[in-house]
Amino acid sequence: MLVLTRREDEQVILGDEVTVTVEKICRLDGRRIFGARARLGFQLPRQINIRRAEWRPRDFGGGSGGPRRPAPPLREGTLVEIADATLQLSVRLPRKIPVSLNGLPVAADEESASNGTRALGPELVYHLDCQKEDRIAICRSFVVTVVGCELFVMRRAPSWAVG
């Protein structure tokens, strides 16, 4: 299982046609958790590529690829697991590919076809509300598991260090 961490509005592309987007991370009462990250686990056949949407293939033939940005400074803190978090995920994929959440079939949102018409386009979008350990099966061979949600909490500087 490959586990990737995604923030709100970040995507993972499975193969050439399936896109999983983290739309919202919130508490059970519906309040958003700003700065939270979702950990998603992916189980796919070996021949299927998986990539983050922000990653673009580069031409690796010669050259250094331009100047590199300096690494961001390290921050002291800790990752805290958010036990009561819910995720709103969207899964965009071609028609006729079944999707299930925890073994139960899911219907696509009729209003959210890729071309803005009522589900007449070549793709459908499924909006799913998930919690920790929920499993989304796509075409029985792709499985996306919600591993959990976490929040990075900065450590406070000691009172004597504040000047």
Give the alpha-carbon dihedral of 46, 52, 54, 57, to 10 degrees. Answer: -10
Q: What is the pLDDT along the chain (163 residues), one digit of tens a residue?
A: 999 999 999 999 999 889 999 999 999 888 999 999 999 999 999 999 999 988 766 544 444 555 677 877 777 888 899 999 999 999 999 888 899 999 999 988 754 444 444 444 678 999 999 999 999 999 888 999 999 999 988 877 555 555 4
For residues 105 and 99, the answer to whether their CB atoms sit within 8 Å is: yes
CA gap 15, 38 in Å, rounded? 21
Provide CB contacts within 8 A for 68, sequence distance 6+.
none
For residues 4 and 12, the answer to whether their CB atoms sit within 8 Å is: yes
pTM of the predicted model, to two decimals?
0.78
The domain ranges of the chain are 2-54+74-156
